[in-house]
Chain A
Amino acid sequence: MAKNDLLGASLWDAYSNKVTTLMNNPKHQGEITEEEAAAHGNKLIVADFGAESCGDAVRLYWEVDPKTDVIVNSKFKSFGCGTAIASSDVMTELCIGKTVQEAVKITNIDVEFALRDNPETPAVPPQKMHCSVMAYDVIKKAAALYLGVDSESFEEEIIVCECARVSLKTLQEVIRLNDLTTIEQITDYTKAGGFCKSCIKPGGHEKREYYLVDILRDTRREMDEEKMKAAADAGSKGSFESMTLVQQIKAIDAEIDESVRQFLIMDGGDMEVIDVKPSDDYIDVYIRYLGACNGCASSATGTLYAIESTLKEKLSKKIRVLPI
């Protein structure tokens, strides 16, 4: 939020001239009949995507030459707003002349780009980016019908944000590499979630399989778990310096149990670890003597030296033991 966000967007003013022109006069609006296609010896494919109940629906018609798989003609029908109609129109134009296999490669980004007046300025405002996604979906569906395969098979990766075409893998990588902690950061880094916002969390315009909030939470959890595991591994491999504080205290306690405590107890005393404070040169281990050790002359000399040298030898040369 800032000055530019204080007034609501003038949605329609943000459309490119192409969007406006095609909404007013779509060039490829219409139908292709079975008879027309058959007369040319071609195959007719008709695919629907969306529904009136979603607020957007498109029907795509392809006339395909069965010998070459080339889409020789294409039309559309659309229930939708201006950008939905303009996107559908450009989609059919992009299909004509391509083979079915080539057409599958057309994405919503291509459709939106084809609607731009110049390469730098988006054709539609962010919340309208989603309209072109329908074009991508219906093409896949038409291609699947023609080729007799499942439309899922064209998807090489899991797309979380369809508007910006950001994959699950990319999102996980970006979160890890940049140590991202908020959805806003994810949108800043990847543009995911910056358009129709359906992919941010459940309850948006469209139901999604993956949501950014879940991906962020799960990735952060994995990162934390890995960090802990790395620390634990480091501990078991004897790298005392890279342990967490709790692990260091546990390691010291274990060492004292093993080599020191029995002798103190024999003399009617004991000790406890109070704290561990690492600095650049030393790792200071603060201890308190209990029972007979407390006040014993040797506790500041011989006993202390014995404890320190044991810990130095077993755990880290940087250890310095300080009784309090």
Chain B
Amino acid sequence: MQVYLDNNATTMVDPLVVEEMQPFFSEIYGNPNSLHKFGTASHHALRKAMDQVYKALNAGDDDDIVFTSCATESNNWVLKSVFTDHIVNGDKNHIITTEVEHPSVYAACKALEEEGVKVTYLPVNHQGIVEAHVVKSFITDKTALVSIMWASNETGMINPIKEIGEICKEKGVLFHTDGVQAVGKIPIDLQDVHVDFLSMSAHKFHGPKGIGALYIRKSQKLSPLLHGGEHMGGRRSGTLNVPYIVAMGKAIELATTNLEDKIASIRAKRDRLEDALLKLSDTFVVGDRDNRTPNTILISIKGVEGEGMLWDLNNALIGASTGSACASEDLQANTVMLAIGADSELAHTGIRLSLSRFTTDEEIDYTIEHFTKAVNRLRAISSSFAKVKPTPGGEAKECELHFH
């Protein structure tokens, strides 16, 4: 058996989605901007896909949902165009975001800092969420934008987007949320929350990679990032990626139909896995599971280094993930675990398991068995569990951690 538990990184494309997009490669391939019948042949399918996305998010007809190449593009678009529209060509100079954003927001903010923008990186609490009153306290009359992820890719923790939206509305500040880990996983009703911009990506909900979207409330001003042939009403140039747009529509429809049932099913498996792993000694899971995306577990296992654990899981054909030091190019500790204030040794022991609606009970059983085996093997090797103490004078000094 092999088990894929890295669905926060990307998901399998649902075969029904592949089927839906198939005709738009070699049969209906015209450019939708062309006047001839080859071009207009895809219009019906494109409209359907747009309807599927609008419906899934309960967006209004006076809102724009613009297809992009990915959420990284959507996030960059919002940050860079708000910079152009309200900072370069306006009287604002401040952006508020968090310490735990995805790099497509975090690194874009760092780049804007180089351009002279003041950026506030808000901390998260011990649950890994940003508290609304903290956001409120940092908003000034110079604040152009608040950008806070809806749910965390690492912990699955869900931020109080409705409350933050109300605060931003009251203060007259634009509010962007990176909804990549929320769309398709938890209910989203854009009539109920006040969000100016929402980024999403199809490959996180069983659509293909290379297609995303940006929701723009009430079609408000946001200068284009990509200039060109005035596609998507001039908001985002580039020939429409017809098969992928069709796929995204189908994928979001499949993900959000009977969403509550799907959530209940995934959550039951997740909770069973989580309960079983927490029976291992010296482990903890980040964040209250009731306020977490239903598919995610970030578990810390004392004495077991994250990449070593991934290695053993991989040997057992289980795909998981870690943000911990050794696995990443820059050798940093899991910044999210550091940000939530976990002890720094635990920042190197985090393993993220993320399920999907395709995860089976058999896979959960298999994972529990092999995860436990891996922990036992690595703890048997681990210096953290060694019994013989160092010769006096042979103790190690604590390490000085560097990040950002």
- Residues of chain A having any CB pair with chain B under 8 Å: 8, 11-12, 23-24, 26, 29, 31-34, 44-59, 61, 77-82, 84-85, 127, 130, 141-142, 145, 196, 202-207
Contact = CB atoms under 8 A, between A and B. Distances in A.
A55 B391 contact: no
A84 to B, nearest CB: 7
B326 interface: yes
Contacts of B404: 203
Contact of B401 (A32, A54, A80): A54
Contact of B394 (A26, A34, A48, A53): A48
B345 A51 contact: yes
Contacts of A77: 381-383, 385-386
B319 interface: no
A206 B380 CA distance: 27
B383 A79 contact: yes
Contact of B305 (A33, A46, A79, A145): A79
Given A79-B305, A80-B326, A81-B305, A45 B387 contact: no
B263 to A, nearest CB: 33
Given A51-B345, A79-B305, A204 B402 contact: yes
A145 B390 CA distance: 10
B53 to A, nearest CB: 30
Given A34-B388, A130-B331, 7 more contacts: A48-B396, A51-B396, A55-B324, A55-B325, A77-B385, A142-B394, A145-B393
Nearest to B348: A55
Given A56-B305, A59-B386, A77-B381, A12 B311 contact: yes
A57 B384 contact: yes
27 contacts: A32-B388, A34-B388, A45-B391, A47-B390, A47-B391, A48-B383, A50-B399, A51-B396, A52-B305, A52-B348, A53-B343, A54-B399, A55-B331, A55-B399, A58-B383, A59-B383, A59-B386, A61-B388, A77-B385, A78-B382, A79-B382, A81-B327, A82-B307, A82-B311, A141-B394, A204-B330, A205-B330
Nearest to B324: A55
Given A55-B348, A78-B383, A145 B307 contact: no
B119 to A, nearest CB: 18
Contacts of B332: 205
B400 A207 contact: yes
B240 to A, nearest CB: 27
B315 interface: yes
Contact of B344 (A34, A53, A61): A53
| The 9 A-B residue pairs with the shortest CB-CB distance in the complex, in nearest-first order | A54-B399, A52-B345, A55-B325, A205-B331, A48-B396, A81-B307, A81-B326, A77-B383, A47-B394
Contacts of A57: 383-384, 396
Contacts of B382: 77-79
B303 interface: yes
Given A85-B308, A196-B331, A52 B384 contact: yes
A79 B282 CA distance: 15
A81 B382 CA distance: 11
Given A54-B399, A204-B331, A29 B390 contact: no
B311 A53 contact: no
B393 to A, nearest CB: 6
A132 to B, nearest CB: 13
Nearest to A141: B394
B386 A85 contact: no
Interface of B: 303-308, 311, 314-315, 324-327, 329-333, 343-345, 347-349, 380-391, 393-402, 404
Contacts of B399: 50-51, 53-55
Nearest to A50: B396
B398 A53 contact: yes
Contacts of A50: 396, 399
Nearest to B385: A77
B346 to A, nearest CB: 8
A46 B326 contact: no
Contacts of A45: 391, 394
Given A49-B396, A82-B307, A204-B331, A44 B383 contact: no
B398 to A, nearest CB: 6
Nearest to A32: B388
The residue among B324, B385, B391 with the most chain A CB atoms within 10 A of its own CB is B391
Contacts of B391: 44-47, 145
Most central of B303, B314, B325, B399 by chain A CB within 10 Å? B399
B381 A46 contact: no
A202 B304 CA distance: 28
Given A48-B394, A142-B394, A205 B402 contact: yes
Nearest to A43: B391
Contacts of A34: 388
Greatest chain A CB density within 10 A among B303, B308, B324 is at B308
Contacts of A51: 345, 396-399
Given A47-B394, A85-B381, A207-B400, A80 B388 contact: no
Contacts of B329: 8, 127
A50 B348 CA distance: 13
A31 B305 contact: no
Nearest to B387: A31
Contacts of B305: 52, 55-56, 79-81, 84
A204 B400 CA distance: 11
Nearest to A130: B331
Contacts of A12: 311, 314
A82 B315 CA distance: 12
Nearest to B399: A54
A207 B401 CA distance: 8
Contact of A79 (B303, B387, B398): B303
B308 A82 contact: yes
A149 B24 CA distance: 75
A25 to B, nearest CB: 10
User: Which interface residue of A11, A53, A61, A84 has the most chain B CB atoms within 10 A?
Assistant: A53
B311 A23 contact: yes
Nearest to B393: A145
B311 A81 contact: yes
A91 B396 CA distance: 18
Nearest to A204: B402
A46 B345 contact: no
A29 B379 CA distance: 11
A79 B384 contact: yes
Nearest to B386: A77
A141 B394 CA distance: 7
